[in-house]
Structure 1
């Protein structure tokens, strides 16, 4: 697939618990302590900084209609998210329409990708996203943990959507991650908000396993 039509610049526009609401502080701790939202880069977004905005949503806001990331020139989106962690799964919410993403290719520790290189390179992992249905919550899409240790950035290449070529706009409502903080063995790199997060927050997040499983609602 040729990408000459991408003529936009993109740019920076407790472990033993079973309680479901434990997921909230743990997810927020991962997002807000480990991600520098100002350094998220999204290519082919219609609205500048919309990619960063959907990552910055709180867990309570995950199902909100706005903000929403929408592709511009065609159905593809490329988002690079810096953050230091051992990642276990991708959390994704999209409205139940044909504009929902279908194939997501993930690249580890690559902040130099454009659409051409993302199309040509072998991804760290490829995920087929289930088609969302009305009333569904966030999809938890498990990752191969062996491939996602010592992650310093994740690039998400939303390659197509559920329209089968009929709709050239892809929409994404929420992006998040499950995982564990990486123990720093050197000085923190510049995209960390804090040198040392609260140790009590350094826990894996309980959730539902399995590809396409839906996390419980509130």
Structure 2
């Protein structure tokens, strides 16, 4: 029995795992190869906190900030997402992030860019069980191909530690029909017009 898996007062915590696990499946739609985590103490650890619901209590996998308490995630998706909610699991300590800021479709953000107004902000509670759910403004986040999460502060520690970030929503495949049509139109046009022109030119030269 793991103490961090026990209910901590959330009324819906005892009946949510299976249903919640399905709805928090957007981690599988993240382009992990291009996900960035800025100010991570160990390179490559930031992407690992986006994991299956059933692995949310694997506290051996986490990301910790380096120079100060800030963390910033640039999260590209492989299609379009309607983002509905977010969960953040940390420690029951001052290393838990205390605020989360969301930016929609702003690839490659850095800390210098975070002075801009966020599309939505949340004051976080210390959550070691995944019982707290932060609902997004669906009208704002109904067509997201890139999400930036900025954690600017924690509850007073020098560094911030996160074990799990869950993304809830709906996914739509990206469409590439325009590229396909252009490819098929361009090739026959080149082929169709090249030979007749050459024939006309050769015919004139032969006169």
TM exceeding 0.5: yes
**Structure 1 segment 1-218 matched on structure 2, within 5 A:** 21-28=18-25, 30-32=26-28, 34-55=29-50, 57-83=51-77, 84-118=80-114, 120-132=115-127, 136-163=129-156, 167-182=157-172, 184-187=174-177
The alpha carbon displacement at 1:90 in A equals: 0.9
Name the CA distance, whole Å, in 1 between partners of 2:158 and 2:137: 30
Name the CA distance, whole Å, in 2 between partners of 1:114 and 1:75: 15
Distance 1:186-1:76 versus aligned 2 partners, 3 A rule = same
Q: Secondary structure at the match of 1:104?
A: strand
Name the CA distance, whole Å, in 2 between partners of 1:45 and 1:153: 20
Q: Is the 8 A contact 2:90 2:162 kept in 1?
A: yes
The alpha carbon displacement at 1:103 in A equals: 1.0
Q: Can you give the 5+ residue segments of structure 1 that lack an aligned partner in the other structure? A: 1-17, 189-218
Q: TM-score scaled to structure 2, two decimals? A: 0.72
Q: TM-score scaled to structure 1, two decimals? A: 0.69
Q: Can you give the 5+ residue segments of structure 2 that lack an aligned partner in the other structure? A: 1-14, 179-207
Comparing 106-115 with 179-188, which one deviates more in the overlay? 179-188
Which structure is higher in helix share? 2
Q: Is the 8 A contact 1:38 1:52 kept in 2?
A: no
Q: Is the 8 A contact 1:71 1:169 kept in 2?
A: yes
Distance 1:184-1:92 versus aligned 2 partners, 3 A rule = same
Q: Secondary structure at the match of 2:133?
A: strand
Q: What root-mean-square deviation, in Å, do the aligned CA atoms of Structure 1 and Structure 2 show?
A: 2.2
Superposed structure 1 runs of 4+ greater than 2 Å apart = 22-28, 135-139, 182-188
> Which protein shows a greater Rg?
2
Q: Is the 8 A contact 2:103 2:148 kept in 1?
A: yes
